[in-house]
């Protein structure tokens, strides 16, 4: 039952990513309704500027959401914090349903973007705090898998349903998310920080499927307290294994409900003072940066034109669904194999595959030596290869490589950087097309795929099946025995 509870919580913590997928795809089949001269859902057709804002405002809201999520989680916990983050989704769809004003719809899009950024921080943190090492990698891919599932569902309902039924479907999904969030058990990490040791013991027993008085629960309580204490973490990282073992023995000799710790170090100071935290931050930041620079966003933008040339007899709706299905399939395969083959293997293999596909797309678009449908197939292979590792593994790392004391801060800083980098890449892409051509842009993206493979080979330690303490040691080039 313990693993079932972990899966349930992982789904609930990742459901915001599913709602994000629904939200981001929605304009692709709605803007034609809003811009139609005889539109019946608005008091007046939207302008070009308003249509542009429909697509961009969620990203602006996401930057705000990313910044405030850590404070919400620390103040209200993971259970109540998840409910708070889900409410803007519900509010935004209610606003869209009840209005015929373009301004109100734009406000709703900004509001809905807030939890989009928040759940990219919330999901990995909550999952890492409840998942066992044996299934942590699989569960940590949950936000990516559910995002792709949301994208797929959004394309499907956009294909088959009318405007009102689409809004009601999104409202229903938001309500389902709230229902799932109400059923989760609070994170034991947060409970220990609140000095609620008895509640933390019950939470650990719930997630491990054992009795509250078992040795597993007592050992987990001791391990979590050791991790949450920044001073003890620094001793473990800087002074080697011996002092860590002595600290642990001393820890186990005192009353389990009374913990005497040195003065707490701030999260920001710990992040940059602790060598393991600092190196984990750099490596994870590199993986996320190179992931963005492999060009998935702009390839998605350009894919519609390529598909229309490669398969003019197929509907754009069918091509969009096929595109989303490949993304989903790749993310599911990543979840299946993450805990079997490890993080390094997936990110190296995926990055090499992405680089080959991008180089092939650039070459075919430059030379036209093969029929256009070959390029369309390569795009689908590229999407699968990307989601198989390079697009999903960095979020697994985000969930497992940081000690609890700095994880919220590190996730917030890295996700803010990702949102900013996406904005910059979309802004400079037209200039890349002007100076290098589309084939030249793909060649540039190829370089980042190669660099990501090198990061996996030389910088990224394998984290599969390791405890948090062992992961900290691996970032220093040593393993605990």
Task: Give the residue with greater pLDDT, 227 vs 237.
Answer: 227
Choose one of 264, 281, 310: the last residue of a domain: 264
- Which of 205, 237, 264 is a domain's end point? 264
Question: Looking at the predicted structure, is the pLDDT value of residue 301 above 70?
Answer: no
Percentage of residues of the chain with pLDDT beyond 90: 57
Task: Scan for tokens 């949950």, then name that residue.
Answer: 142
3-state SS assignment for residue 371: coil
Q: Given pLDDT bands bounded at 50, 70 and 90, which one contains residue 388? A: very high
pLDDT of residue 234: 42
Taking all residues of the chain, what is their mean pLDDT, rounded to a whole number? 87
The whole-number average pLDDT for the span 371-380 is 85
Fill in the DSSP letter of residue 162: -
E strands, 288-435, in order: none
Please write the tens of the pLDDT for every residue from 91-113.
999 999 999 999 999 999 999 99
What pLDDT, in 10s, does the model give residues 319-354?
Answer: 888 889 999 999 999 988 988 899 999 999 999 999
Q: Are residues 197 and 74 in the same domain?
A: no
Asked if residue 481 has pLDDT above 50, the reply is no
Most confidently modeled range among 138-152, 172-186, 357-371: 172-186
In 372-403, alpha helices (H): 372-385, 393-400
Torsional class of 291: left (φ above 0), alpha (ψ -120 to 50), beta (otherwise)? alpha
Q: How far is CA 125 from the centre of its chain?
A: 10
Same structural domain, 282 and 365: yes
Give the chain's end-to-end CA distance (angstroms, integer).
30
Residues 91, 197, single domain; the answer is no
Contact 40, 152 (CB under 8 A): no
Note whether 288 and 233 are same-domain residues: no
Summarize the confidence of residues 243-253 as an average pLDDT: 47
For the whole model, what pTM was predicted? 0.83
Q: Are residues 436 and 356 in the same domain?
A: yes
User: How many domains does the chain fold into?
Assistant: 3
Contacts 24+ apart (CB under 8 A), 239-246: 241/473, 241/480, 241/481, 244/469, 244/480
Same domain, 250 and 320: no
Same domain? 175 vs 246:
no
Q: Which of 115-119, 214-218, 318-322, 407-411 has the lowest mean pLDDT?
A: 318-322
Where in the sequence is the domain holding 101, given as residue range(s)? 1-184
CATH code of 146's domain: 1.20.1250.20
Q: Which of 228-242, 295-309, 370-384 has the highest mean pLDDT?
A: 370-384
* Confidence check: pLDDT of 402 > 70: yes
Do 305 and 242 have their domain in common? no
Q: Is the pLDDT confidence value at 429 over 50?
A: yes
Q: Nearest to residue 360, comparing CAs of 466, 443, 240? A: 443
- Is residue 248 pLDDT above 80, yes or no? no
Q: How many CB atoms lie under 10 A from the CB of residue 440?
A: 15
% residues pLDDT > 70 (the chain): 90
Whether residue 170 is found in the same domain as residue 207: no
Residue 304 confidence (pLDDT): 65
Comparing CA positions, the residue from 461, 408, 452 lying closest to residue 286 is: 452
Residue 229 is predicted with a pLDDT of: 66
Residues 51 and 78 in one domain: yes
Predicted confidence (pLDDT) at residue 53 exceeds the cutoff of 70: yes
Asked if residue 442 and residue 343 are part of one domain, the reply reads yes
Last residue of a domain, one of 226, 249, 264: 264
Indicate whether 338 and 317 sit together in one domain. yes
Q: Tokens for 94, please give them.
A: 């209610």
Instruction: Assess whether pLDDT exceeds 60 at residue 387.
Output: yes
The residue among 315 and 442 whose pLDDT is bigger is: 442
Using pLDDT thresholds of 50, 70 and 90, give the confidence band for residue 303: low
Radius of gyration for the alpha carbons in the chain, expressed in angstroms and rounded: 23
Q: What is the pLDDT of residue 311?
A: 67
Sign of CA dihedral 4, 189, 217, 82: negative
The 10 Å Cβ neighbour count of residue 263 is 6
pLDDT of the residue at 451: 97
Q: How many CB atoms lie within 10 A of CB 353?
A: 20
Q: Are 392 and 331 in contact (CB under 8 A)?
A: yes
pLDDT in tens, 119-166: 989 999 999 899 998 888 889 899 999 999 999 999 999 999 999 999
CA dihedral over 446, 447, 449, 453, signed as positive or negative = positive
Is pLDDT above 90 for 43?
Answer: yes
The answer to whether residue 264 scores a pLDDT higher than 80 is no
């Amino acid at each position: 039952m313990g693993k079932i509870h972990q899966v349930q919580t992982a789904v609930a913590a990742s459901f915001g990513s599913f709602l994000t997928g629904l939200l981001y795809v929605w304009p692709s089949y709605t803007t034609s309704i809003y811009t139609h001269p005889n539109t019946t859902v608005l008091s007046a057709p939207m302008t070009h500027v308003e249509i542009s804002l429909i697509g961009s405002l969620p990203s602006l809201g996401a930057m705000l959401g990313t910044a405030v999520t850590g404070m919400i989680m620390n103040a209200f916990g993971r259970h109540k914090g998840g409910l708070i983050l889900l409410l803007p989704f519900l509010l935004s769809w209610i606003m869209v349903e009840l209005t015929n004003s373009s301004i109100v719809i734009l406000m709703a899009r900004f509001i809905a973007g807030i939890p989009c950024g928040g759940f990219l921080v919330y999901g990995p943190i909550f999952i890492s705090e409840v998942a066992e090492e044996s299934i942590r990698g699989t569960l940590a891919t949950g936000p990516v898998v559910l995002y792709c599932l949301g994208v797929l569902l959004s394309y499907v309902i956009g294909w088959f349903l009318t405007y009102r039924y689409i809004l009601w479907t999104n409202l229903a999904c938001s309500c389902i998310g709230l229902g799932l969030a109400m059923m989760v058990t609070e994170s034991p990490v947060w409970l220990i920080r609140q000095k609620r040791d008895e509640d933390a013991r019950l939470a650990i027993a719930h997630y491990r499927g054992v009795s509250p008085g078992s040795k597993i629960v007592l050992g987990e309580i001791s391990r979590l307290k050791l991790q949450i204490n920044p001073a003890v973490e620094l001793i473990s990282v800087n002074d080697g294994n011996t002092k860590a073992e002595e600290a642990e023995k001393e820890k186990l000799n005192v009353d389990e409900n009374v913990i005497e710790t040195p003065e707490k170090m701030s999260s920001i100071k710990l992040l940059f003072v602790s060598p393991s935290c600092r190196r984990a931050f750099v490596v994870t930041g590199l993986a996320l940066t190179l992931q963005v620079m492999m060009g998935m966003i702009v390839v998605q933008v350009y894919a519609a034109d390529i598909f229309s040339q490669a398969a003019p007899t197929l509907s754009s709706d069918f091509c969009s669904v096929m595109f989303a299905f490949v993304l989903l399939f790749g993310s599911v395969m990543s979840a299946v194999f993450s805990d079997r083959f490890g993080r390094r293997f997936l990110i190296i293999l995926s990055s090499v595959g992405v680089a080959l596909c991008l180089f092939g797309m650039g070459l075919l678009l430059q030379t036209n030596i093969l029929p256009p449908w070959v390029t369309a197939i390569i795009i689908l292979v590229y999407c699968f290869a990307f989601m198989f590792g390079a697009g999903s593994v960095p979020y697994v790392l985000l969930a497992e490589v940081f000690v609890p004391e700095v994880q919220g801060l590190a996730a917030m800083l890295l996700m803010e950087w990702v949102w900013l980098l996406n904005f910059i890449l979309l802004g400079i892409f037209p200039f890349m097309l002007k100076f290098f051509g589309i084939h030249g842009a793909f060649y540039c993206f190829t370089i980042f795929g190669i660099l990501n493979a090198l990061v996996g080979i030389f910088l990224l330690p394998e984290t599969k099946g390791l405890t948090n303490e062992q992961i900290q040691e691996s970032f220093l080039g040593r393993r605990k025995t």
